[in-house]
Amino acid sequence: MESIIYILIATLFLTSYQGFKSPAFREKYIFDVDQILIDKEYYRVFTSAFLHSNWYHLIFNSLALSSFGVFVLVVYGIKDFTLIYMISLIGGGLLSLYLHRNHGDYRALGASGAISGVVFSTILLSPTSEISLLFIPYGFPAWAFGIAFVAYTVWGIKKGSDNIGHEAHLGGAIFGMLTTIAIDPDLLSTNYWIFVLLMAPCLIFLIFVYKNPEYLLVESVSLKSFINTRKKTYEPTKTPEEELNDLLDKISSQGIGSLTAKEKKKLEELSGKELK
């Protein structure tokens, strides 16, 4: 039964390694707001979860998946475990897309959204169990870890100055819990308190952001660049000549096939020639 987890981890290693050695591969599948909303490359919401920024990022996510995934797998089986993982993956990506819909150059990669869904499914199933973190000799009640995680995630979304994909974490956690409840409605009677305790602050935050979208524009749009769990790039404006030279350099080193749809459009604009 646990083979599904090993298959997932092996897939993450294979696709992430391909991204490590091939920038063109990573560029084609990374989460990119403009590419998704303007060029309608919706597949990036899914494929970006199979890429990682470095070995540490990949190994950390793999360890988290193997640690929490086994419990959910034993309780629900392969089919429902896969459902929780995939819906959390997509849910995390969609929340990131919504919160950054006005940040065209927001880019992201990593399986953290899907794994957050599995973690919160575990917390919902066994809120009084103990969770131990790497390099910390003490354990924490699962419900306390969940509350702390939600609080840190909401704070991180607002701050927007680290290299962690808090938006995907929050979306994955929300969709992971909702999918778990859909699979096992009896949890609402047995463990309703932890569901309310974790879901309420998430919903309050999302409602607040919906009604006050300017809240995320105060600090989260910065000049820092990220390419870890969630990457944001806000680059200084280049002259048309500099943009054209950059594109030509990329074609020279990687071939014209390495250009994204947005880059091809830009090249057409700058050169005045239509690309085939």
Report pLDDT for 51.
96
Position 214 scores a pLDDT of 77
What is the structure's pLDDT at 29?
96
Please confirm, yes or no, whether 57 is among the known catalytic residues.
no
The Cα 64–Cα 52 span in angstroms is 14
Q: Please tell me which residue in 88, 112, 116, 220 is annotated as part of the active site.
A: 112
d(CA 111, CA 130): 24
pLDDT at 269: 79
Q: Any catalytic annotation for residue 112?
A: yes
- Given a cut of 60, whether residue 219 has pLDDT beyond it is no
Name the active-site residue from 53, 100, 169, 220. Answer: 169
Give the start-to-end residue ranges of the domains of the chain: 3-232, 240-271
Position 19 pLDDT exceeds 90: yes
In the block, residue with structure tokens 């849910």:
91
Mean pLDDT of 123-128: 95
Quick check: 218 pLDDT over 60?
no
**CA distances from residue 177 to 46, 132, 142, 172 in whole angstroms, order as listed:** 19, 21, 14, 8
| Helix/strand/coil percentages in the chain, nearest 5 | 70, 5, 25
**SS3 letters for 185-253?**
CCHHHHCHHHHHHHHHHHHHHHHHHHHCHHHHHCCCCCCCCCCCCEEECCCCCCCHHHHHHHHHHHHHH
45-87: pLDDT as tens digits: 999 999 999 999 999 999 999 999 999 999 999 999 999 999 9
Lowest model confidence (mean pLDDT) among 115-129, 133-147, 233-247, 255-269: 233-247
pLDDT at 105: 86
**Range 3-232: architecture per CATH:** Up-down Bundle (1.20)
Which pLDDT does position 237 carry in this prediction? 58
- What average pLDDT does the segment 189-194 reach? 93
- Alpha-carbon distance 240 to 71, whole Å? 54
* pLDDT band, very low/low/confident/very high, at 163 (cuts 50, 70, 90): low
Distance CA 203, CA 64 (A): 25
pTM beyond 0.75:
yes
Residue whose C-alpha is closest to residue 243's, from 227, 222, 274, 265: 265
In this predicted structure, the answer to whether residue 195 has a pLDDT above a threshold of 80 is yes
Tell me what the mean pLDDT of segment 210-228 comes to: 55
Query: Which pLDDT score is estimated for 144?
Result: 95
